[in-house]
Structure 1
Amino acid sequence: MTTNVPKVFAFHEFTGVAEAVADHVVHAQDSALNRELKEKKPSNTSLSASGLSGDGKNMARVSSTKSLNASSTNCSRDRSGSVSNKKLKKEKEARFKIALSGGSLIQVLHEGLLKREDVQWGKWDIYFADERLVPFDSPESNYGLAKRKIFDLVDTARYGEPRIYHIDETLIGDPQECADKYEKLLIKGFAGRDSVKLPMFDLCLLGCAPDGHIASLFPNFQENLREKLAWVVSVENAPSGPSNRISLTIPVICHSHRIAFVVEGATKAPVVKTIMERPEKGLPSSIVNEGAAGRVSWFVDDDALTDVLITKKKYKFRCQSKNEE
């Protein structure tokens, strides 16, 4: 594996990490919504068609959901020169598609996003990069934690209500069926009327555990890191934490417009050192650094960079919230 060094933004305290991550998220949101308005077709519809091989997966990635490009037969400007109905419809349908992991990342987003006034929650499509197969009221549920710490606290009357795509809680006892059904959710959300090889998130937000796992992809465990075709995989008998999980695959994560890792704490320093200095070890995040070179950013506190030889960058805020002006 060659060395592709990502952008690493370091901060003295947790608050600095949270504020920068929130700014990065809002910048990704604005870029995605503006991009959708400019393009005649969503970027992922231009990708080559591909089916899935394997049991129960030899299927075209096609869904019956309405395409963002559904044409309108009555698109005309009025005498005042107002925008056409087609443009208004397209603007209304522009969406920001984000994938979230769980753990301490949720607290970072709680601290950084909820105080901002420029988060267009009503235009968000929220998916999960992974999920632990536990009841939603469990403290170990990624969706459950995000719901309690973020979604339930959003002023939806003011900012709109996001669309949230979580696993089917009734399937937590069957990891493979749960993974298959979540993959179908992705197909419906990203394929539209077209066949696409991979979904393309506008932003994928991930943490990194002390043992090196990202989402629910563990180092040197099963064959999940080598999966090339599936969008979602089941994970059984995980080495740590809840035993059964599902996870987005490496190709899906790497295909995102932007990928950001959020890591804090001295307990993460040894694994961050390996990731940054020994990419040939092939830890999952090193694979992402390589596979999505140029689109990966790391947001870390100084404790997580203890004894790590890396060039740190100063984060430049680009989306100052009104309540911060």
Structure 2
Amino acid sequence: MTTTVPKVFAFHEFTGVAEAVADHVVNAQNMALTKEPYAIRNGSISGSVGMGAGGSGVSAGANGSLMVPQLSGAVSRQASTRSISGREPSTPASGASNPNIRAPSSSKLKKIKEKRFKIALSGGSLIQVLHEGLLKRRDVQWGKWDIYFADERLVPFSSPDSNFGLTKSKILDFIDVTAYGAPRVFHINESLIEDPQECADDYEKVLIKGFAGRDSVKLPMFDLFLLGCAPDGHIASLFPNFQENLRENLAWVIPVTSAPSGPSNRISLTIPVICHSHQVTFVVEGSTKAPVVKTIMERPEKGLPSSIVNEGAAGRVAWFVDDDALADVFVTKKKYKFLVHSEES
């Protein structure tokens, strides 16, 4: 493996990481929704930024809490079809009133109406970073988000180990859907958690429906793929030197059994899927991460999952790291330049 150095943005404390990551995410959102060309500048996707509709500040519901309607995996296995809650029905295009003007085809109108920001999230401390940084902004167009998960622990959604459960309690439940709309959330089918292979196959079908539809695509392409990195070096649920998972190059989603740490059974998106994203961003904080970050940055030949992504998605990878996680790490640090003006409620 060659030495590929990603952009590394360092911050003195957690708050700085959260604010910068939020700006980075909103900028990626705007680029996806305005169809601007993708190019990394200062680790964010650059281009002309169109401000999202925020309206007035976030208002609380009648009971004082901000709730997203119950989102379900809603996987219907009847007639080999899948229904995912929160999906917006397509609206048939009406004909043009002027017979001399050809109306846009329904397929083109559908594409125009269905501009979506497709983002993949892992769990853990990353969700707290997003909680701190995103929820106070008014320029997050939640109603145009398609949220997928980089991996999932095969536990009930009520478990503190569930990535979807954590995301719901830390982020989704706080969104004022009246003001901002509700994101579409694509999670695993909770009824399949006892069968890792079936659960992985089922979630791959979710991805195929979301990214391929009637077309044939080799890999899904996320606008932004957000990852953390554990002290043992695993990202998503891809562990170093474990079950040949890092060599998988065909499947989009794989089962993970007998995981070395945490919940034993999981599913995970694969390295090719991660590396195919427009932008891959790692968010890492805390002194416990410093040893593994040092290995990733200084010893890429060790082949840790993050190093493989740094190489496979070279030029599209950024790291947002606090100083504690960079202790004794030899790497060129960059100062993050905010690209989207922050609008707070």
Q: Deviations over 1:151-193 (max 9, x none)?
A: 0110000000000000011111100000000000000000021
Q: Deviations over 1:189-244 (max 9, x none)?
A: 00021000000000000000000000000001001100000000000000000000
Q: Which residue of 2 aligns with 1:186?
A: 207
Identity among equivalent positions (%) equals 78
TM-score, length-scaled by structure 1 = 0.85
Counterpart Cα distance in 1 of 2:171 and 2:98: 40
Tell me if the contact between 2:31 and 2:37 (Cα under 8 Å) persists in the aligned partners: no
Counterpart Cα distance in 2 of 1:64 and 1:110: 28
Q: 1:72 to 1:281 in 2, by over 3 A?
A: same
Secondary structure of 1:189's partner? helix
Tell me if the contact between 2:153 and 2:163 (Cα under 8 Å) persists in the aligned partners: yes
Secondary structure of 1:217's partner? coil
Alpha-carbon shift at residue 76 of structure 1 (Å): 6.7
Counterpart Cα distance in 1 of 2:245 and 2:293: 21
Q: Deviations over 1:4-63 (max 9, x none)?
A: 10000000010000000000000100011111899xxxxxxxxxxxxxxxxxxxxxxxx9
Q: Deviations over 1:116-155 (max 9, x none)?
A: 0000000000000000000100001000000000001100
Tell me if the contact between 1:103 and 1:142 (Cα under 8 Å) persists in the aligned partners: yes
Alpha-carbon shift at residue 301 of structure 1 (Å): 0.2
Q: 1:175 to 1:36 in 2, by over 3 A?
A: farther
Q: 2:245 aligns with which of 203, 214, 224?
A: 224
1:129 is the counterpart of 2:142: no
Counterpart Cα distance in 2 of 1:77 and 1:135: 55
Counterpart Cα distance in 2 of 1:309 and 1:37: 33
Q: Which residue of 2 aligns with 1:15?
A: 15
1:92 is the counterpart of 2:113: yes
Matches within 5 A, 1:1-325: 1-35=1-35, 72=93, 74-75=95-96, 90-323=111-344
Counterpart Cα distance in 2 of 1:23 and 1:85: 36
* Structure 1 vs Structure 2 CA RMSD: 2.7
Tell me if the contact between 2:93 and 2:109 (Cα under 8 Å) persists in the aligned partners: no
Q: 1:12 to 1:90 in 2, by over 3 A?
A: same
Counterpart Cα distance in 2 of 1:169 and 1:293: 35
TM-score, length-scaled by structure 2 = 0.81
Q: 1:120 to 1:238 in 2, by over 3 A?
A: same
Which has the larger helix fraction? 1
Question: Paired residues, what number?
Answer: 296
Q: 1:310 to 1:72 in 2, by over 3 A?
A: same
Alpha-carbon shift at residue 93 of structure 1 (Å): 1.2
- Which AA in structure 2 matches 1:277? E
